[in-house]
Structure 1
Amino acid sequence: MIFFVILFLLAGIALVIGGRQQATEALRATKWPVTEGKLEQCEVVVSPGIGSDSYSSWRLQLRYSYVVRGVTYHSTRYAIGYSESADHTQHRDIAEELNRNPTVSVHYDPAHPAQAVLSVAPQGNVALLGYWCLGLAALSAVIAMVSG
């Protein structure tokens, strides 16, 4: 049982730290300058599961270009922390909205203009998953103490 306590504890700590870093980076991105960009590709694609009983996941495949200080950059990042999921609805809604107008507002890091996003809205629940793992570590520890 101690194995599960340590496993959930370490996973929880790593996920909370990673989630907090993503949230901090997303907050910083709200202050980044904005420039006009051109949408080059935007579609929703499926990544099939590995086994026959595995679930497929969906992701937004996009590419856009933008110019900062005379240099053209390309990016494929929608938002900080944005990733594929089993539900295609969110991805399709975003793709439909972006495809309505090929001109996009690009938020770019002024210190590193190649780093850019189209959305600065908070994404993902990495930290929440970490807190769940920490809760499971605590529950596993209690079970170990009671049964031990």
Structure 2
Amino acid sequence: MMSRILGYLFVFAFLSCFVGVGVAMLGYGTYGIVQAKRSATWPTVRGEIESCKMHSRRDSEGSSYGCEVDYRYQVNGKSYQGDRIAFGYNNTNYKQPHKQIERHLKQGRYVQVHYNPQDPSQSVLSTGTSSNAWLPIVFGTTWLTICGSIWALCFCGGSVEKLPARLAELNHPSALKTR
């Protein structure tokens, strides 16, 4: 009996950690989508590009590419520094789109910076949502669905130990006749 309780406690603690990851991903994704939509209405100022470079990273799954930019801007006489291109902008394994972003940003010295009027230190160069902004929400939802399924199997009478008996009952000839 004690080992069963410890087993349930272990599964509960394990799932709690995994649920935390799923909730964090949903929260991060939701925050990004909301900010991306809000950024479309943010005021703009002229910013100056300090650096812009393309980078690549190689790992066991191949190469990923991205563009890094640093820019300065002023709001009400106070200087700020930003590095966000867009909410949801991430590295990908496609080099060309990032090369185009780098080329576009290097065309001139100045850019239009959208800043959050409640927190001018928060800025972005491109507003609106991108398909990448939805990835944390998709991942978090999938993650929580898997955790919920495991939880249901373990804690809602759907334990794996009882599954063979339930299948035997369902496939028993007398069960088939009554249906």
TM-score (norm 2): 0.66
Higher helix share: 2
| Residue 52 (structure 2) aligns with | 42
The root-mean-square deviation of aligned C-alpha atoms, in Å, is 2.6
Q: Secondary structure of 2:147's partner?
A: helix
Match of 2:102 among 89, 95, 101: 95
| Residue 127 (structure 1) aligns with | 137
Question: What amino acid is aligned across from residue 160 of structure 2 in structure 1?
Answer: S
| Structure ID, larger Rg | 2
> Does residue 147 in structure 1 map to residue 160 in structure 2?
yes
Question: What amino acid is aligned across from residue 45 of structure 1 in structure 2?
Answer: H
- Note the C-alpha offset of 1:100: 2.5
Q: Secondary structure of 1:104's partner?
A: strand
- Please identify, of 126-135 and 85-94, the stretch whose mean Cα deviation from structure 2 is larger: 85-94
Distance in 2 between residues matched to 1:115 and 1:10, nearest whole Å:
26
Q: Secondary structure of 1:126's partner?
A: helix
What are the Cα deviations for residues 76-129 of structure 1, in whole angstroms up to 9, with x where unaligned?
Answer: 111223233343333222212222233211001223222211011224221111
- In the alignment, structure 1 segments of 5+ residues that lack a partner are none
What are the Cα deviations for residues 56-94 of structure 1, in whole angstroms up to 9, with x where unaligned?
Answer: 433321111222223332211112232333433332222
| Residue 29 (structure 1) aligns with | 39
- Contact (CA 8 Å) 1:8, 1:136: kept in 2 or not? no
| Residue 108 (structure 1) aligns with | 115
Matched length: 145
Q: Percent identity?
A: 27
- In the alignment, structure 2 segments of 5+ residues that lack a partner are 1-7, 162-179
TM-score (norm 1): 0.78
Question: What amino acid is aligned across from residue 147 of structure 1 in structure 2?
Answer: V
- Contact (CA 8 Å) 1:63, 1:76: kept in 2 or not? yes
Q: Secondary structure of 2:112's partner?
A: strand
- Contact (CA 8 Å) 2:39, 2:128: kept in 1 or not? no
Distance in 1 between residues matched to 2:107 and 2:61, nearest whole Å:
33
RCO higher in structure (CA 8 A, sep ≥6):
1
